[in-house]
Amino acid sequence: MTSGRNEPRVGLFGGTFNPIHLGHLRAAEEVREALDLDRILFIPSRTPPHKRQDPLDPIAPAERRLDWVERAIAAHKAFSIDRIEIDREGPSYLVDTLEAIRDRDPRARRPVFIVGEDAFAEMGEWRDPKKLFVLADFAIMTRPPGQLEDLAERIPRIVEADFEFGGDGRSARHREAGTRLELVSITALDISSSRIRRACRANRSIRFLVPESIHEAILESGEFASLRGEGEEYEHG
């Protein structure tokens, strides 16, 4: 149950952030403005359960990724970081994170979890999806080309019957819990963490793909230096 409207409305932006980049920051800012959120909590995952560990494309250590996020958001007064998944041993299951955040203050206003449309479509395969959708509201980011216009096209089938959809298809309300789903259109920026890692391995510039505050730190860390033959490139999602 939510409290009064005077309570701050908080967005939760989880991810591996391997590394964090300007696309993450711009998306968070646009969702914050679109939904009138008071602040955004960035939640780096310690051990993402839904990402395949690839020894040729490793995930940087949790504390290093946390440091990059802290530096990247330091200048934005509405952005802050939450160590909840970094400090918890084992896989970073979203349902555990949402329950823990709720238990901190059961009277607080329900948080808004920010997720991309592809990840949203896969959430039926995540741990305890029926519970997930009663613990938080969800902002589903969508962008051109092929921009999603109807939630019913991507909502996990296991929870589809739990929601009543708005007339325009861009919002839905949980029939029992009252939690909401809402599509949020964001700017299409052709930036991804995998692109940045590939650029590092190929010794190409990543300037203006990542915040200047972490540009040198990423390069000096050597985390994404080439693990394959000189000049060899490959695709990885």
CB-CB contact of 193 with 19 (8 Å): yes
d(CA 84, CA 100): 8
What 3 state SS string does 148-179 have?
CCCHHHCCCHHHHCCEEECCCCCEEEECCCCC
- Angle (deg, nearest 10), helices 22-35 and 62-73: 60
pLDDT confidence of residue 147: 84
10-residue stretch averages of pLDDT, the chain, 237 residues long:
69 98 98 98 91 81 97 98 95 96 94 97 95 98 88 95 96 98 96 96 96 97 70 32
Bridge-based pairing of strands 163-165 and 137-142 is unpaired
pLDDT value at position 5? Answer: 60
Task: List domains and CATH numbers for the chain.
Answer: 10-185 (3.40.50.620)
Under 8 Å between Cβ of 33 and 45: no
